[in-house]
C-alpha cells in the first residue's frame, strides 16, 4: 500500500497549482493589454510602399500588399479597421468585448467566435491578415502560432500597446495610440483616413478641460480582489487626459490586482466602473456597497460613479471617446 499512497496525496495541491498555471497560460493575457510596444519607432507611415516591413511585438512582419481578407480578434482591432473605413476587407471578427458603436457600422461582418477561435476555424476562412488585440490570441491552442501562420501565408499583427515582452514603453501615451492608428493605416494603404482620425482625436483631446484635485479608482473587475487600472497603461493615459489622479498610479503596470484596504485608505473622489458583458456596473456597485469597509467610501456613499465600456479601455480608436465621456460625467457630478 505504500506505493499506492505515496504518489496519491501530494498531487492535490500541486494539481491545483498546475490547473491554475494552465489557466494563466490560457487566458493570462488579460493583463495582456500590458504596456505598449515600440510605437514611435515603428511609426513612419506615408504612402505605403510595399513590401512593408515592420517590427510587431518582436516579430518581423512583411506585408506584400494591402490585406484583403482580414480577421479581427477582440473589439479594439475590429473597431480600428471599421474606423479606417475598411469594413469591406473584414471577413470575420471574434472575441468581442461588447457591442460595436452604431456609428462604426460593421453589423454585417460575421462573428466567427465569441472567444478566441481555434487554428483550423481560422484557416478555414482563408484570411491573409489577422489583427489581434491581445498577443496571447496567437498561440497553438488559440488562433495559431505567429510563425506557423506566416508560413501559411497569413500575416499577423498585434495591437502594439498589448505587446507583452518585447518593446514595452515605460508608459502608454496618446501619441503611441496615434502611432498605431498610423501604422495600421500604412498596412492597409489608407494613410489619409488614419491622418484624419488622428487629427480629429487630437483636436478632441485639446478641447478637454482637465479637472484638478479629483482622485479616482479605475475599477475594472473582481470582487474579493479588485482588478484596477494601474500606472502605465490605457487607463492611466485616459485618466491623465481628464486630469484625475489614479490612486493605483504607483503600480507600474497597465492593470493590477489591488486590495480594498488601499482603496479605503485612499478614499477616492470618484470610482470609474468598467462595463462589460460579464461585469455590469450594477454588479460592481453591489460589491462596493456590500463590503462594510468600502460602503463607507465617499464615492460610494454619494454615488459618484462613472461608467466606461470595456472596449474603450484598451488602446485603440475609442480611447479619446472614453476620455471625453468621462470628462462629461465628471462635469455632471459637479467635479
Footprint of other proteins on this chain (CB under 8 A)? 1, 4-6, 8-17, 19-20, 22-24, 26-27, 30, 97, 115, 220-225, 227, 248, 250-251, 256-262, 264-265, 267, 276-279, 291-294, 296-297, 310
> Cα–Cα distance between 322 and 317 in angstroms, integer?
10
Nearer to other proteins, 20 or 192 (CB): 20
Question: Phi and psi of 184, rounded to 5°?
Answer: -65, -40
Q: What is the DSSP letter of 197?
A: H
Tell the smallest beta-carbon distance from residue 30 to other proteins (Å).
4
Tell the smallest beta-carbon distance from residue 8 to other proteins (Å).
5
Whether the CA torsion 94, 97, 98, 103 is positive or negative: it is negative
Tell the smallest beta-carbon distance from residue 227 to other proteins (Å).
6
> Cα–Cα distance between 306 and 228 in angstroms, integer?
14
Element (H, E) at 21: helix 11-27
45, three cell numbers: 507611415
Question: Phi and psi of 239, rounded to 5°?
Answer: -65, -40
Pair 164, 57: CB distance under 8 Å: yes
Nearer to other proteins, 114 or 124 (CB): 114
Tell the smallest beta-carbon distance from residue 243 to other proteins (Å).
23
Nearer to other proteins, 15 or 199 (CB): 15
Tell the smallest beta-carbon distance from residue 21 to other proteins (Å).
10
Tell the smallest beta-carbon distance from residue 295 to other proteins (Å).
8
Nearer to other proteins, 95 or 178 (CB): 95
Nearer to other proteins, 10 or 51 (CB): 10
> Cα–Cα distance between 102 and 100 in angstroms, integer?
6
The Cα angle at residue 217 between residues 333 and 335, in degrees rounded to 5: 20
Nearer to other proteins, 307 or 324 (CB): 307
> Cα–Cα distance between 319 and 298 in angstroms, integer?
27
Tell the smallest beta-carbon distance from residue 15 to other proteins (Å).
6
**E-assigned strands of the chain?**
52-56, 59-63, 70-73, 90-94, 111-113, 129-132, 155-158, 215-221, 227-229, 245-246, 255-257, 270-275, 305-309
Question: For strand 52-56 and strand 255-257, is the pairing parallel, antiparallel, or unpaired?
Answer: unpaired
Nearer to other proteins, 58 or 98 (CB): 98
User: At what angle are helices 319-332 and 234-242 packed, to 10 degrees?
Assistant: 50
Tell the smallest beta-carbon distance from residue 229 to other proteins (Å).
13
Helix, strand, coil share of the chain (percent; to 5):
45, 15, 40
Nearer to other proteins, 42 or 75 (CB): 75
What 3-state class would DSSP assign to 274? strand
Nearer to other proteins, 92 or 226 (CB): 226
Tell the smallest beta-carbon distance from residue 228 to other proteins (Å).
9
Amino acid at each position: 500500500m505504500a506505493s499506492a499512497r505515496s504518489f496519491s496525496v501530494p498531487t492535490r495541491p500541486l494539481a491545483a497549482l498546475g490547473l491554475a498555471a494552465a489557466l494563466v497560460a490560457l487566458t493570462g493575457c488579460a493583463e495582456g493589454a500590458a504596456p505598449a510596444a515600440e510605437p514611435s519607432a515603428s511609426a513612419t507611415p506615408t504612402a505605403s510602399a510595399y513590401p512593408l516591413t515592420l517590427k510587431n511585438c518582436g516579430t518581423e512582419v512583411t506585408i506584400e500588399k494591402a490585406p484583403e481578407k482580414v480577421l479581427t480578434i477582440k473589439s479594439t482591432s475590429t473597431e480600428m479597421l471599421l474606423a479606417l473605413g475598411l469594413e469591406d476587407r473584414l471577413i470575420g471578427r471574434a472575441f468581442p468585448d461588447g457591442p460595436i458603436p452604431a456609428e462604426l457600422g460593421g453589423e454585417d461582418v460575421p462573428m466567427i467566435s465569441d472567444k478566441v477561435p481555434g487554428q483550423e476555424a481560422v484557416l478555414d476562412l482563408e484570411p491573409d491578415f489577422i489583427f489581434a488585440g491581445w498577443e496571447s490570441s496567437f498561440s497553438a491552442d488559440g488562433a495559431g502560432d505567429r510563425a506557423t501562420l506566416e508560413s501559411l501565408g497569413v500575416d499577423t499583427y498585434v495591437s502594439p500597446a498589448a505587446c507583452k515582452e518585447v518593446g514595452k514603453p515605460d508608459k502608454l501615451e496618446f501619441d503611441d495610440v496615434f502611432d498605431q492608428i498610423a501604422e495600421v493605416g500604412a498596412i492597409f494603404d489608407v494613410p489619409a483616413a488614419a491622418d484624419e482620425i488622428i487629427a480629429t482625436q487630437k483636436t478632441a483631446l485639446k478641447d478637454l478641460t482637465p479637472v484638478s484635485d479629483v482622485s479616482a479608482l479605475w475599477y475594472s473587475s473582481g470582487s474579493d480582489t479588485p482588478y484596477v487600472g494601474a500606472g502605465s497603461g490605457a487607463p492611466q493615459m485616459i485618466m491623465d487626459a481628464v486630469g484625475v489622479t489614479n490612486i493605483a498610479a504607483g503600480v507600474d503596470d497597465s492593470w493590477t490586482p489591488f486590495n480594498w484596504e488601499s482603496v479605503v485608505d485612499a478614499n477616492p473622489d470618484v470610482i470609474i466602473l468598467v462595463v462589460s458583458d460579464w461585469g455590469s456596473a450594477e454588479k460592481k456597485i453591489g460589491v462596493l456597497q456590500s463590503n462594510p469597509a468600502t460602503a463607507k467610501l465617499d464615492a460610494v456613499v454619494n454615488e459618484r460613479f462613472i461608467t466606461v465600456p470595456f472596449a474603450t479601455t484598451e488602446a485603440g480608436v475609442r480611447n479619446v471617446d472614453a476620455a471625453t465621456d468621462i470628462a462629461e460625467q465628471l462635469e455632471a457630478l459637479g467635479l
